[in-house]
Structure 1
Amino acid sequence: MSKPDSRPLDCPSAQAGAKDARVYGVRTGTPEAPRVGYLTETLPVSEELLALSGPARPTEVFRIAAPCATSGCKHFKANACTLVQRIVEGLAPVVNALPACQIRSTCRWFSQEGRNACLRCPQVITDKPNATAEEKRIADDV
């Protein structure tokens, strides 16, 4: 019998300054239809890496994972991530197969919502300056 994974779950939409943050994706696509290109390995967040975002905020360019803050996060209620619940309910899938994601084994969204989260994940940009009213509602539950 294998030992269950005891690693903490990761937030797949973390901020660059989070402890143990690492980049696992980069924004691709167009401004109207952004997508995440998943890296073949995660990269620890560093000042040099963040500088590659140029004048944009790093979270406009990179998808960053870090240990889930649980009760320290505004989206965490009743032992669940309400952000991924809103994403699954409010956004249509943008891919038909699971993306090649390096954090899936520790991803809170996948752990909680499974495949439904992964099929929507490539369209999620942590900080999206041109977000629609619906995207803002999903992101902030307003």
Structure 2
Amino acid sequence: MQEHHRTMVSRAAYGKLTGFILGLLGMIIIIYMLPTLGWGIRFGTLFYAINLGLLVGILSVDIRHPVFPVEFKWWVMGPLMGGWIMFTLMLFIGDAYEKILSQSETVLASFSSPLWMILDGAICGLIISLVVHRKVKE
């Protein structure tokens, strides 16, 4: 592997690993909190978190904005990317998500608004970018 690609591959690998761990945690929570939900949604959560980790791991770098004289640090880009990616998911499945959680008899019924998932994506993005930033020195 060429030296200038090593950083990008490492960022992708650590991002996917962190996304897998967060997705596995989400899958376990779904199994115990929503036992009637199908396995498709459970595994979909896991695979979506892996993709979230990949994208946030690659995109959460320190960059300078091309128009404004502002530098976006990793702790800004991670939550922005995580929240944005989760926002795009909620545009497609927000109604179904709200319906599933509002019928729950657990504490998840309190968080049935799709806006909570955007906050969840931002927090996951921050965690993923923190891990990637600490492990891959740029």
- Structure having the higher strand fraction is 1
- Structure having the larger proportion of residues in helix: 2
TM-score band by shorter chain is under 0.3
When the two structures are superposed, what TM-score results if normalisation uses the length of structure 1?
Answer: 0.27
Which protein shows a greater Rg? 2
Task: Give the TM-score of the pair, scaled to structure 2.
Answer: 0.27
